Amino acid sequence: MYPPATLFLDVCVQSELWPDGAWPLVSDEQADRVTRLFALARAHDLRQGGVVCRHVSSDATPAGDVPLHCQSIEAADRRPAGCLPILPLQVWTAEGASDHAPALDRARAVYVDSGCGHDPDDLPRRARVFAHLTAGVRDAVVFGAGVEHGLRRVVDALLRRRIRIHVALDAVGTRDEVRAQVLVAGWKRRGVDGVTVEIVERMLRRR
């Protein structure tokens, strides 16, 4: 794993989905490991970005059995302690006007608002932002909340770009453990690397 070409991509790391939130998907132990990954990114000056969940537009309905959550921009922006990226966080929404959008650059940690119900590259604006986020990336470390929801969609999008994917299995939360295990088994058959936070630490130390 070469740090300048590595992306730490967090999915739905939001207070509403944390142990004390309205729809907890992450255990206390998983939350601690997510925080360790943010500390690792800071220590190695890694590129960061990801996906947030915000059901505030008419077409952004929750997926499947997902209850109402992240119903405001404020809820989507609330991050658990220790889970802010190094650079200022910039969330791109699918509805924004492209001609008035801020420029894509490397001075911010870029996030898209696809959440649990949409692919991170499903619309032209999201696709452009996700392409910017992943440009030049060889390895992506994926972690966060919702294996069978947002994480599934992110892994599929990264596979389409032929990026090496390392899912930190001890730093991901799920609502349905059985379905999550089936998904993880399918990922491994497609070449996705199931790792732990400790293994990620070791891979980064080798460089």
- The CA distance from 196 to 160, in Å, is 23
- Above pLDDT 90, what percent of the chain? 69
Instruction: Tell me the pLDDT tens digit for each residue of 14-61.
Output: 999 999 998 899 999 999 999 999 999 999 999 999 999 987 655 556
> What average pLDDT does this structure show over 150-169?
96
More reliable by pLDDT, 171 or 71: 171
Q: Return the DSSP state at 150.
A: I
The answer to whether residue 7 scores a pLDDT higher than 90 is yes
CA dihedral 32, 172, 112, 152 (to 10 degrees): 180
| CATH match of 3-205 with 3.30.1490.440 | no
Q: In what order do the strands lie in the sheet with 89-92?
A: 89-92, 109-112, 47-51, 6-11, 139-145, 164-173, 193-195
CA 170 → CA 6, 107, 152, distances in Å?
Answer: 19, 30, 16
Per-residue confidence at 67, pLDDT binned at 50, 70, 90? low
Length of the chain, please? 207
Residues 59, 157, 174: CA angle, nearest 5 degrees: 75
- Residues 9, 50: contact at Cβ < 8 Å? yes
- Residues 156, 162: contact at Cβ < 8 Å? no
Q: Using alpha carbons, select from 194, 171, 204, 170 the residue that is nearest to residue 5.
A: 204
Per-residue confidence at 166, pLDDT binned at 50, 70, 90? very high
Tell me the one-letter amino acid at 26: V
- For position 61, what pLDDT does the model report? 63
The answer to whether residue 95 scores a pLDDT higher than 80 is no
- The CA distance from 207 to 202, in Å, is 9
- For position 104, what pLDDT does the model report? 77
- Residue extents of the structural domains in the chain: 3-205
- The CA distance from 92 to 113, in Å, is 6
- Count CA atoms within 13 Å of residue 1 on its CB side: 24
- The CA distance from 48 to 86, in Å, is 8
Instruction: Tell me the pLDDT tens digit for each residue of 102-133.
Output: 577 888 999 999 988 899 999 888 999 999 99
DSSP assignment string, 120-186: TTSSHHHHHHHHHHHTT-SEEEEEEE-IIIIIHHHHHHHHHTT-EEEEEEEEEE-S-HHHHHHHHHH
The answer to whether residue 76 scores a pLDDT higher than 80 is no
Q: Using alpha carbons, select from 178, 63, 180, 123 the residue that is nearest to residue 167.
A: 180
Arithmetic mean of pLDDT over the chain: 89
- What is the β-pairing status of strands 139-145 and 6-11? parallel
The answer to whether residue 62 scores a pLDDT higher than 70 is no
